């Protein structure tokens, strides 16, 4: 029941949110860590004859003789320190390189393509063949007709597919008629080998017009799915969108377009891109989310510029006392609301950064709003704001305490933020259910509430038991003794 378990502070710094990690962390140190991790993760290869595994696995999990040990060992004596440094430096110069991919797919089609998208790398399937290396082992997918020896001219589509499957050199160029090409495709599909299906699809993609390719694949669903997957993996977004348009798969088209924003780092560009997603044929629900996504980033850009300026100027107390840990760009809505409750709580509704404005713009439910505001104000120990959050006035001017999230939860959050006992006590008292109230009071050592509640419940036994939990000679003990000896109370036990 710990409401603030995901303490806002904590997830601000969580590595899940990229924008909240500092750019300069991407330096040598982190690369070293990366490489250390790489080496450490190399698995232990334990000797065959030794059946006593337990004893041999060391702290780092690197028994002598393991692969990781031997990598260190062999790499270590092969190069001097200088070499190592040089390696590091040159590695840095490749920092634009993608990190070694996280192990995702091991064996499958997608694993073949999950790479950095290189413009033109697939067009070059054919282009690259103009150079003729001495030794050519490659599947000669794109060799111009005149250039290859026609040793394979008699192979049927099924022979060809079979050879491709065995990884043998094989030209597809001789299949010139549409009928031949389609037969080739059907043979490949019937083999189920994604590697071969994709090879044939690339050939078709290159040699057929888009319209014919789409038309023929529409009636060949397996091949169609492979093409879609393939286009996704190599990042040929344009052709993919054309294909979805042709197939009239409007929602997939929209999602596929929207997905691209993940690859745009620059906030302005990302915002502009999101704008282009707004009109796309999403479901009604999703359309609203996309619109909100755009609006939120737009807001964040404004707030970020403003606050960075304020912080640098050093004139604003809140930023001096609580310097921002990172930028607010690309944070989720609730985090943004927390930020705004933390730094911009008292702002008028008219400003973009005011919590009330956020609440209205994004139709944040009351519950969510109160929870977030409470967590933010409690963190700043602004007890007055906390009080105001739960005070309502009725039309006669009487004030009343009300919490849409239940006061038990308020207490938990306050406790999480180290609220003093007096404050806690006040809210524990507001908990309606008596048992819950008593439990919370005991848990958070609100002695007065415990004593009063026991007295109200006429629960002598519990009060007696509680007496042993308070300090000897304390005011609480006196209070308990007074209650126990009171003749006014008709104890139920």
Partner 1 sequence: MAAHLSYGRVNLNVLREAVRRELREFLDKCAGSKAIVWDEYLTGPFGLIAQYSLLKEHEVEKMFTLKGSRLPAADVKNIIFFVRPRLELMDIIAENVLSEDRRGPARDFHILFVPRRSLLCEQRLKDLGVLGSFIHREEYGLDLIPFDGDLLSMESEGAFRECYLESDQTSLYHAAKGLMTLQALYGTIPQIFGKGECARQVANMMIRMKREFTGSQNAIFPVFDNLLLLDRNVDLLTPLATQLTYEGLIDEIYGIQNSYVKLPPEKFAPKKQGDGGKDLPTEAKKLQLNSAEELYAEIRDKNFNAVGSVLSKKAKVISAAFEERHHAKTVGEIKQFVSQLPHMQAARGSLANHTSIAELIKDVTTSEDFFDKLTVEQEFMSGIDTDKVNSYIEDCIAQKHPLIKVLRLICLQSVCNSGLKQKVLDHYKREVLQTYGYEHLLTLHSLEKAGLLKPQAGGRNSYPTIRKTLRLWMDDVNEQSPTDISYVYSGYAPLSVRLAQLLSRPGWRSIEEVLRILPGPHFEERQPLPTGLQKKRQPGENRVTLVFFLGGVTFAEIAALRFLSQLEDGGTEYVIATTKLVNGATWIESLMERPL
Minimum CB separation from partner 1 for residue 291, in Å?
Answer: 10
Residue that is written with structure tokens 């929602």 in the block: 251
Minimum CB separation from partner 1 for residue 181, in Å?
Answer: 17
Helices (H), 45-177: 53-56, 67-78, 81-92, 109-113, 124-127, 157-165
Residue placing its CB nearer to partner 1 in the complex, 262 or 312: 262
Nearest-angstrom CA–CA distance, 209 and 178: 11
Residue placing its CB nearer to partner 1 in the complex, 183 or 335: 335
Contacting range for partner 1; rule: CB under 8 A; set: 50-58, 303-311, 390-398, 484-492: 50-58
**H or E element at residue 478:** helix 475-485
- Residue 250 binds partner 1 (CB under 8 A): no
Nearest-angstrom CA–CA distance, 154 and 127: 26
Minimum CB separation from partner 1 for residue 482, in Å?
Answer: 35
- Find, among 329, 266, 257, 263, the residue nearest to 300 by Cα: 329
Residue 451 in tokens: 């004593």
Burial class (CB in 10 A: 0-12, 13-18, 19+), 117: middle
Q: What are phi and psi of 432, to 5 degrees?
A: -75, -50
- Find, among 300, 354, 347, the residue nearest to 327 by Cα: 300
Residue placing its CB nearer to partner 1 in the complex, 157 or 194: 194
Contact set for partner 1, span 404-463 (CB under 8 A): none
Contacting range for partner 1; rule: CB under 8 A; set: 188-196, 241-249, 339-347, 425-433: 188-196
Contact set for partner 1, span 332-361 (CB under 8 A): 332-334
Q: What are phi and psi of 401, to 5 degrees?
A: -95, 135
Q: Binding pattern to partner 1, positions 281-310, x when CB under 8 A?
A: ----xx--xx-xx--x--------------
Nearest-angstrom CA–CA distance, 258 and 243: 16
Residue placing its CB nearer to partner 1 in the complex, 405 or 480: 405
Residue placing its CB nearer to partner 1 in the complex, 111 or 448: 111
- Residue 57 binds partner 1 (CB under 8 A): yes
Minimum CB separation from partner 1 for residue 468, in Å?
Answer: 25
Minimum CB separation from partner 1 for residue 177, in Å?
Answer: 23
Contact set for partner 1, span 149-178 (CB under 8 A): 164, 167
Residue placing its CB nearer to partner 1 in the complex, 364 or 430: 364
User: Could you say which DSSP state residue 44 is in?
Assistant: P
- Residue 267 binds partner 1 (CB under 8 A): no
- Residue 119 binds partner 1 (CB under 8 A): no
Q: Binding pattern to partner 1, positions 17-36, x when CB under 8 A?
A: ------------------x-
Tell me how far apart the 2 most distant CA atoms of the chain are, in Å. 114
Residue 104 in tokens: 């995702």
- Find, among 213, 286, 204, the residue nearest to 250 by Cα: 286
Alpha carbon distance, N-terminus to C-terminus of the chain: 32
Nearest-angstrom CA–CA distance, 360 and 355: 9
Residue placing its CB nearer to partner 1 in the complex, 69 or 447: 69
Minimum CB separation from partner 1 for residue 279, in Å?
Answer: 16
Q: Which residues of 347-375 are buried (b: 16+ CB within 10 A; e: fewer)?
A: eeeeebbbbbbbbeebebeeebbbbbbbb
Contact set for partner 1, span 77-106 (CB under 8 A): 78-79, 83, 87, 90-91, 93-94, 97-98, 100-101, 103-106
Minimum CB separation from partner 1 for residue 221, in Å?
Answer: 8
Nearest-angstrom CA–CA distance, 92 and 27: 8
Contact set for partner 1, span 463-482 (CB under 8 A): none
- Residue 366 binds partner 1 (CB under 8 A): no
Q: How many residues does the chain have?
A: 493
Minimum CB separation from partner 1 for residue 134, in Å?
Answer: 6
Residue placing its CB nearer to partner 1 in the complex, 390 or 476: 390
Nearest-angstrom CA–CA distance, 439 and 431: 11
Minimum CB separation from partner 1 for residue 132, in Å?
Answer: 10
- Residue 141 binds partner 1 (CB under 8 A): yes
Minimum CB separation from partner 1 for residue 128, in Å?
Answer: 5
């Amino acid at each position: 029941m710990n409401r603030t378990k995901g303490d806002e502070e904590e997830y601000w710094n969580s590595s899940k949110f990229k924008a909240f990690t500092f750019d300069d962390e991407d330096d040598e140190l982190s690369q070293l860590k990366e490489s250390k991790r790489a080496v450490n993760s190399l698995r232990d290869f334990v000797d065959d004859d030794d059946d006593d595994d337990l004893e041999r696995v060391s702290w780092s999990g690197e028994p002598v003789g393991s692969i990781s040990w031997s990598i260190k060992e062999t790499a270590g004596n092969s190069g001097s320190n200088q070499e190592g440094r040089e390696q590091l430096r040159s590695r840095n110069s490749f920092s634009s390189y993608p990190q070694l991919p996280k192990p995702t797919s091991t064996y499958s089609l997608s694993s073949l393509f999950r790479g950095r998208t290189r413009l033109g790398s697939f067009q070059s399937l054919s282009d690259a063949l103009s150079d003729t290396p001495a030794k050519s082992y490659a599947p000669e997918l794109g060799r111009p007709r005149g250039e290859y020896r026609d040793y394979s001219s008699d192979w049927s589509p099924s022979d060809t597919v079979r050879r491709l499957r065995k990884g043998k050199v094989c030209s597809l160029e001789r299949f010139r008629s549409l009928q031949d090409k389609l037969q080739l495709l059907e043979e490949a599909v019937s083999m189920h080998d994604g590697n071969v299906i994709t090879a044939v699809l690339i050939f078709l993609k290159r040699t057929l017009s888009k319209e014919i390719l789409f038309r023929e694949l529409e009636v060949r669903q397996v091949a169609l799915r492979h093409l879609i997957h393939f286009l996704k993996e190599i990042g040929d977004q344009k052709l993919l969108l054309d294909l979805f348009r042709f197939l009239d798969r409007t929602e997939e088209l929209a999602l596929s377009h929207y997905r691209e924003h993940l690859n745009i780092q620059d906030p302005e560009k990302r915002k502009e891109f999101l704008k282009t997603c707004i009109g796309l044929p999403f479901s009604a629900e999703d359309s609203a989310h996309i619109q909100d996504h755009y609006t939120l980033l737009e807001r964040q850009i404004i707030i970020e510029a403003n606050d960075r300026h304020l912080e640098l100027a050093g004139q604003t107390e809140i930023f001096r006392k609580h310097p921002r840990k990172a930028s607010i760009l690309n944070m989720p809505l609730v985090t943004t609301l927390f930020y705004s409750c933390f730094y911009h709580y008292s702002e008028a509704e008219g400003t973009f950064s005011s919590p009330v404005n956020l609440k209205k713009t994004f139709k944040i439910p009351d519950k969510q709003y109160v929870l977030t505001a409470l967590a933010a104000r409690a963190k700043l120990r602004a007890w007055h704001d906390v009080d105001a959050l739960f005070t309502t006035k009725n039309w006669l001017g009487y004030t009343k305490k009300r919490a849409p999230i239940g006061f038990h939860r308020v207490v938990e959050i306050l406790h999480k933020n180290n609220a003093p006992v007096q404050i806690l006590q006040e809210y524990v008292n507001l908990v309606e259910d008596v048992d819950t109230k008593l439990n919370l009071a005991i848990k958070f050592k609100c002695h007065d509430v415990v004593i009063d509640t026991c007295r109200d419940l006429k629960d002598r036994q519990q009060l007696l038991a509680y007496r042993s939990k308070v300090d000897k000679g304390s005011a609480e003990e006196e209070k308990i003794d007074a209650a126990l000896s009171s003749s006014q109370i008709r104890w139920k036990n």
